[in-house]
Amino acid sequence: MVWYQYHMGMNYPGLAAMLALSPGLMVLFVLVMLWSLVWKGIALWKAGNNKQLTWFVVLFIVNTVGILEIVYLVWFQKKKRVVTEEQKPRRKRR
């Protein structure tokens, strides 16, 4: 019986702790996961569209519960340049 429990993961202390989580903690865990997933998706989308491979790889690998993703989106993503009428090149008329 001990061999069976050992090989089926029954002796892993993290498994028992995870199964013993209260429903409130499970809801909190799910909400944190959804929060992280949304921010990671947005940041990965922006990094991919901006051709920022280094940021894309770092954001994909490192899990910071949305903190690094928000930092990237606020300070490090490429800003779109707004072109006003004065800055547009004028076409020559024939």
Is position 33 within any domain?
yes
Residue 2 has pLDDT above 60, yes or no: no
Is position 27 within any domain?
yes
Range of the domain at 70: 22-76
Is position 17 within any domain?
no
Token output for 82: 């707004």
Is position 16 within any domain?
no
pTM beyond 0.85, yes or no: no
Interatomic CA distance for residues 26 and 93, integer angstroms: 68
Is position 93 within any domain?
no
Is position 49 within any domain?
yes
Is position 92 within any domain?
no
> Which pLDDT score, from 0 to 100, does residue 10 have?
56
Is position 50 within any domain?
yes
Instruction: Count structural domains, the chain.
Output: 1
Interatomic CA distance for residues 74 and 68, integer angstroms: 10
Contact 59, 70 (CB under 8 A): no
